[in-house]
Structure 1
Amino acid sequence: MLNKEEGQWNLANRTVLEGKVIERWAVLDFSSYDRRFKPNSLIYNKFVQKLTMRCKKLGIHMKNPLFRELSDMRVLSDTDRLRKLLNHVYDEANHRLQILVCIMLDKHPGYNALKWICETQVGIVTELCLSKQCNMGKDHYMTNLALQINTKLGGSNFELFDPIPRLESDDHVMFIGADVNNPSPGIASSPSAAAVVATVNWPAANKYVGRYRLQKHRTEKIEDFGEMCLELINKYAELNKVKPKKIIVFRDGVSNSQFDMVLDEELVDLKNAIHCDGYSPTITLMIAQKRHLTRLFPMDNKQGVRNSNVFPGTVVDTTIVHPWKFDFYLCSHYGILGTSKPTRYYCLHDDHSFSLDDLQQLTYNLCYTHARCSKPVSLVPPAYYANTLAYRVQQYYEAWEAAATVSSSNFPLQFDSNIFKLHGDLENIMFFC
């Protein structure tokens, strides 16, 4: 049942839209050997029972794990040992492991190395969680865990009930999200990570595939934008036997001063890459901005929710926006704590002749389709996922850099982008979710 005030729904006594059959999975328990934290180690049988039962109730058919591999947190600090351990686990499953659930005692820098090795070298989908949360086994935590696992394995959790406005025709539509993650301030040489994600199903538009590149330090322009988009369009055509006729791009992370760069370089690069053999889809290009100081407040209690935030779905498109250009502020989510920050959306290019109301409704509806949330998110999912993937790639680089510093004999100090190339088994799933 949808809570209209908060915009969220309850998954009690409900199932996901498409639950995967999970027959081959294992547990890698980093909490088992460290005596200092023995009281917090994983209560294995209890965890497995609660997870499999919660999956069953959600319509995700999860069998018992194939095996449990015991380890300790110190392995996460040694990239060589960690790589050997992960390869051993994969061999133990005869290279047919659907997902590896990794249990850690607490947050650890080795998380980056584990993701880098699994997703670029071994080819394992992973789900990481803390032993304390697993042992508590609260229903909402197990539900979130089940939703993430189902998504990463190609399942579908939620779908919009009504068609997306102005896109109800039979024409195939692809939503693209793009973002660049830059190194932390003070780091002078690390590359930036550019990521592009796109939907590969229609009309549900809730399954994404991602592509990424490392590029020059603090370069905001996505250098291979057209090439990555072409790869995603070809994947869409492979899965659906037809290319999308309409493309809607959400570009995250650019300031007003970079709009010309997006229009004159990235958009042109996209068109040059995909326009061939008579294929020329219509394109709408939107900018999503979170870095601003604008906040929205209700005039009285009737215009807001209990914590003095505006209702989810509140839009402002007058007074504080550009006097004649196509922009609006949308507060799509329910703020649990503090003052909600709306996202500013700016339409730079539109081949579809959308009205402002059309774009607002389309963007807000998409915010309900994030795979892990039973409520609308604060940033439209294509941009949200692109941001997540770009950050993951930055983690790959940090893991390689840390390993190279410790053991230069085993890791090339000279930068080579092939070190970060995604494993082929993970190319067409939402491993980054």
Structure 2
Amino acid sequence: NFPLMRALADHTRMPPNVRVDRLMVFNARLQNTPSIQKDLENWQMRLAPNLISFGGRILDQEEIHFGQSVKVRAGTDADWTRNMRSNPMFDMGSLKSWVVIFLKKSRNDVHTFVGVLQKSGATLKFFIPPPVYEEIIDDRVGSYVSALEKVIATRNPQMIMIVVPNNRSDRYSAIKKKCCVDRAVPTQVVVQKNLTSKGVMSIATKIAIQINCKIGGTPWSIPVPMAGLMICGYDVCHDTTTKGRSFGAMVASINSVFSRYFSAVTPHTNGEELSNDLSMNIVKAVVRYSECNNNTKPKTIIIYRDGVGEGQIPFVHKHEVTLIKEKLKDLYQGEMPHFAFIIVTKRLNTRLFLQGKNPPPGTVADDCITSPDRYDFFLISQSVRQGTVSPTNYNVIEDSTRLAPDKMQRLSYKMTHLYYNWSGTVRVPAQCQYAHKLAFLVGQSLHKTPNSGLDDLLFYL
């Protein structure tokens, strides 16, 4: 019900100036209610008449690197969509064979859309050859699965695009299970109405970028002046079919430009299993990094951990961090690499304002509102067009990297630029967002660990 949602959004997505006014009105009510004042006096507390003011910092805009040595600034709102459409991608995957599966009745729309897709790929300097077309007569789940089995067995394609008439979750799950668990073929599912929508060129560009990512390419990159650095993201998603079971996904960078990633997913039913799985997956990632970098292990490992509540922090430090350090010590034969473990929290009640407006992307607050007994900071990395922006909290619970706090903040901000599903910054480091995307896919659709043949590809985008 879109009209109802729009009416609700007027009240829930308040712009910053309205939110400040509401807070001040609420504060005045509290100040002028005798019973509340009496309670506060009993606790020897006093409410300040105004919002707290303090000094923050705004980090410089990042430089986005495209192909053919093209470099552009991220812009004041950290969105480089326009530059993305007119510049070649940083690294092209080689797409040699792909298949499109579609319903017979949508043949004309599919052929037209493939033409648009090839055209948008050409502007990105990404060559998309003509696909093999596979028609099916009805939209039953079995028809799609049979068609997938047939094309994989006879054609062995690099990529399969499946056009579906609507967003039915059982069909989507069956497609993903067949191609991500039983076989190892990246897939792109497209809803039929998008083939003929007004913004078809924009949709085609996004799909071309996704296809490039899923076969091992890279749309853009960010310069990071640190050699031998591996960054990992970890997130958890509950299994929708088995109560009490969750899937933990870890995604780790395995090259110097943070464009290739190794992923691992493991199910667990309690915190102890999670800790063991995470430490084992970090070891696997270090081994994979070493294989991709002339048998050189990373010198510095930074882990961004999402999905941790306030009360779980001592448990995470005592179990997860300790186990990871033990496993790394064994792997590095006694010599520990530089190591940091950072807890990322998105669900916050804290709001920051800059002269009654939303602060720009790159705003850092590490004084006054942070905890005196922690190494933590707030970072606004995303730009919002509606409502009030929410900062993200980074709590560094372990750090032997010797990076100064401003360098750690800058590195965290850089990582928010590398999520390839959106040509702008996201709220958390890209590795965390990838881990969330992977955990969500497995928890919602696959319910099993994906095929190991896909471990080095961003098949879950």
Q: List aligned pairs for 1:6-155, cutoff 5 A.
A: 6-9=77-80, 10=82, 11-29=84-102, 31-33=103-105, 43-75=109-141, 78=142, 81-93=143-155, 95=156, 97-109=157-169, 110-136=171-197, 138-155=200-217
Residue identity in the other structure for 1:17? F
Relative to structure 2, which stretch is displaced further, 327-336 or 41-50?
41-50
Shift, 1:370, TM fit: 1.5
Shift, 1:266, TM fit: 0.8
- Note the alpha carbon deviations across 1:109-129, whole angstroms, 9 max, x for none: 121221122101022110111
Q: List aligned pairs for 1:249-328, cutoff 5 A.
A: 249-276=303-330, 277-278=333-334, 280-300=336-356, 308-328=357-377
Residue identity in the other structure for 2:104? S
Shift, 1:294, TM fit: 1.6
SS in 1 for 2:385: coil
Shift, 1:71, TM fit: 4.6
- Note the alpha carbon deviations across 1:37-72, whole angstroms, 9 max, x for none: x7xx76022111110111121021110102333353
Which of 69, 72, 76 does residue 5 from structure 1 map onto?
76
Residue identity in the other structure for 1:284? A
Gaps of 5+ in 1: 301-307, 399-419
Q: Could you tell me which residue of structure 1 aligns to residue 288 of structure 2? A: 235
Q: Could you tell me which residue of structure 1 aligns to residue 46 of structure 2? A: none
Structure 2: how far apart are the matches of 1:217 and 1:271? Answer: 20
Which of 271, 277, 288 does residue 224 from structure 1 map onto?
277
- Note the alpha carbon deviations across 1:182-206, whole angstroms, 9 max, x for none: 246xx8725100111100101x112
Q: Could you tell me which residue of structure 2 aligns to residue 337 of structure 1? A: 386
Distance 1:359 1:17, change over 3 A: same
- Note the alpha carbon deviations across 1:122-175, whole angstroms, 9 max, x for none: 221101111111223522211111111111111011111x434xx2xxx41100
Residue identity in the other structure for 1:28? I
| Percent identity (aligned) | 26
> How many correspondences in the alignment?
383
- Structure 1 stretches (4+) deviating beyond 3 angstroms? 217-223
Structure 2: how far apart are the matches of 1:83 and 1:74? Answer: 9
Residue identity in the other structure for 1:430? L
Distance 1:299 1:42, change over 3 A: farther
Distance 1:143 1:82, change over 3 A: closer
Structure 1: how far apart are the matches of 2:358 and 2:139? Answer: 42
Contact persistence 2:442–2:449 (CA under 8 A): no
SS in 1 for 2:252: strand
Structure 2: how far apart are the matches of 1:190 and 1:124? Answer: 30
Structure 1: how far apart are the matches of 2:347 and 2:428? Answer: 12
Q: Could you tell me which residue of structure 2 aligns to residue 369 of structure 1? A: 418
Distance 1:189 1:373, change over 3 A: closer
Structure 1: how far apart are the matches of 2:387 and 2:117? Answer: 32
User: Are residues 1:196 and 2:253 paired?
Assistant: no
SS in 2 for 1:6: coil
Which of 403, 420, 427 does residue 354 from structure 1 map onto?
403
Structure 1 vs Structure 2 CA RMSD:
2.1
Shift, 1:385, TM fit: 0.9
Residue identity in the other structure for 2:299? K
Q: Could you tell me which residue of structure 1 aligns to residue 220 of structure 2? A: 158
- Note the alpha carbon deviations across 1:209-229, whole angstroms, 9 max, x for none: 100111116889444111111
SS in 2 for 1:54: helix
Q: Could you tell me which residue of structure 1 aligns to residue 26 of structure 2? A: none
Q: Could you tell me which residue of structure 2 aligns to residue 303 of structure 1? A: none
Q: Could you tell me which residue of structure 2 aligns to residue 409 of structure 1? A: none
User: Are residues 1:394 and 2:447 paired?
Assistant: no
Structure 2: how far apart are the matches of 1:358 and 1:422? Answer: 36
SS in 2 for 1:21: coil
Structure 2: how far apart are the matches of 1:212 and 1:82? Answer: 26
Residue identity in the other structure for 1:180? V
Which structure dedicates a bigger proportion of its chain to helix?
Answer: 2
User: Are residues 1:208 and 2:261 paired?
Assistant: yes
Shift, 1:318, TM fit: 1.9
Q: Could you tell me which residue of structure 1 aligns to residue 230 of structure 2? A: 174
SS in 1 for 2:104: coil
Distance 1:50 1:345, change over 3 A: same
Shift, 1:255, TM fit: 1.5
Shift, 1:421, TM fit: 3.4
Q: Could you tell me which residue of structure 2 aligns to residue 403 of structure 1? A: none
Q: Could you tell me which residue of structure 2 aligns to residue 421 of structure 1? A: 449
Shift, 1:422, TM fit: 2.3
Q: Could you tell me which residue of structure 1 aligns to residue 460 of structure 2? A: 432
SS in 2 for 1:26: strand
Contact persistence 1:87–1:122 (CA under 8 A): no
SS in 2 for 1:372: coil
Q: Could you tell me which residue of structure 1 aligns to residue 55 of structure 2? A: none
